[in-house]
Amino acid sequence: MLYYLFTYLDQQFDFPGAGVFQYLSFRAGAAITLSLLIAAVYGRQIIDMLRNLQIGEDIRDLGLEGQMQKRGTPTMGGFIILASLVFPTLLFAKLTNVYIVLLLVSTIWTGMIGFLDDYIKVFKKNKEGLQGKFKVVGQVGLGLIVGLTLYFNDHVKIRVYKPGVIDTSIGQIENGAFQDIKSMSTTVPFLKNNDFNYSSLLPDFIPDEYTWILYVAIVIFIITAVSNGANITDGIDGLAAGTSVIIGLTLGVFAYLSNNKPLSQYLSIMYIPNSGEMVIFCAAFVGACVGFLWYNSYPAQVFMGDTGSLMLGSIIAVLALATRKELLIPVMCGIFLVELVSVIMQVSYFRYTKQKFGEGRRIFLMSPLHHHFQKKGYHEAKIVTRFWIVGIILAVITLVTLKLR
C-alpha cells in the first residue's frame, strides 16, 4: 500500500524522498525491520492474550528430560509470525504482483488449517486435533490453487534469448532479442544447460497440453511434503523457526538473482520477470521468524503450534516453486526431509516387524530425529544449535549450485 502511495506522491508532486520506494533494497529493508518490530513489540501482548484465554499446550509424557516443565506454555504462537509477515508485505510489496498474491493466499490458507488443528486440540480437548484426511484435503486445495496459477496465469513467465536469423529471401538479418514466454521449465542442480521442462516426463502418446495435470500433481506433492516436514520439525524450542530463517534467506537470494538481468545471465539461471517482489516477502518472512525466536528460543515462552508450522512449510514450498528451484528442496530443506523420513522409517519398520515377528521394533530411540537425540541425553538447546549449523551448511551447498555444474 505504501508503495502505491509514495509512487503517486513522487510522480504527481515530486515529494522529497518518495522515490526510495522504487528501490527493492529499501522496501526489503523496511519489511524486515517492521516485521521484527511487530513480532518483538506485539509478540508479548499476543502471548499474554493466549495465556489469559488458557490456550496452553497439553504435553504428553514421552519420558523426555524437561518435557513436563513445558506444560501450559501458550500455543498458537504462529499468529505472531502471521501478523509480522502479512502486514509488512501489504505495506511494502506490489499487491498486484501474482507471486505476492499467491504467497499471501498460501500464508493465510495454511495458517487457518493449522489454527483449526490447534483449536480442536486446545478447546475441544482432542489430542489428535484436526483429522489427517482434512489436513491433506486443505493441502491439496492449496496445491491446486498454486499449481493452476503458476501454470495458467499470463504473468508467470520466464525470459529467454531468441537468436537472430538470416532471411535469405530478402537479404536481411533479424537481430536476436529477449522474449518472455510461458514455460514450465525448472532448474536441475549440478548440471550444465540445466533447464528441464516437465512436458518431457510425459509419454510420447500424451499431448503436451496435458502437462498441467502432471505439474499440478507435482506441486500438490511438494506443498504437502514440505508443510508436513516443517510440522514434524516443530518439536523442540526454536528448531522449526530457526531452520525456516536459514531457508528463507536462501530463497530470498534466489528471488533476487532471478530478477536481476546481469546476474542471472552471468550465473546462467532463469530470468523470471517480476520475481523480485518475492524478496520483500522473504525479508518479512525472515524478520517474522527471527522476531518469533525472541520468545520461542529455549526455554520457550510460546509454541507456534500447527498454526505456524504448517504455514512455514507451505510458504517455503511456494517460494521454491515460484523461483523454479523446487528440485533443490531436498538439499535446501534437508532438515525437514530428514525429520519427515525418520518418522516414515520408524513407523514403517515398527509395523513390518510387528507383522513378521509379532513384536514391533524401532530404528530410532524415538522419532522424529530430534527426539532420538534427546533420548540419547543431548540437551535440546545443543540439538537445535547443531541442526541450525547443518541447515547453514545445506544452504551454502544450495547456493553453490549456482556455479558448481
- Cβ neighbours, 10 Å, residue 7: 16
Q: Alpha-carbon distance 281 to 66, whole Å?
A: 36
- Cβ neighbours, 10 Å, residue 151: 17
Query: For residues 31 and 287, is the Cβ–Cβ distance under 8 A?
Result: yes
Q: Is 296 annotated as a binding residue?
A: no
Q: Is 194 annotated as a binding residue?
A: no
- Cβ neighbours, 10 Å, residue 88: 29
Give residue 305's Cα distance to chain centre. 16
Q: Nearest 5°: phi and psi at 61?
A: -75, 105
Q: Nearest 5°: phi and psi at 238?
A: 85, -5
Give residue 334's Cα distance to chain centre. 13
Q: Alpha-carbon distance 316 to 246, whole Å?
A: 11
What is residue 195's DSSP assignment?
Answer: E
Which residues 6+ apart lie within 8 Å of 335 measured at CB? 233, 243, 387, 390, 391, 394
Nearest CA to 324 out of 198, 227, 213, 185 is that of 185
Q: Alpha-carbon distance 296 to 290, whole Å?
A: 9
Query: For residues 188 and 198, is the Cβ–Cβ distance under 8 A?
Result: no
Q: Using only the alpha carbons of the chain, give its radius of gyration.
A: 23
Please give the torsion angle defined by the CA atoms of residues 93, 306, 245 and 30, in that order, rounded to the nearest 10 degrees. Answer: 30
Binding residues, as ranges, are: 231, 306
Binding residues for Mg(2+): 231, 306
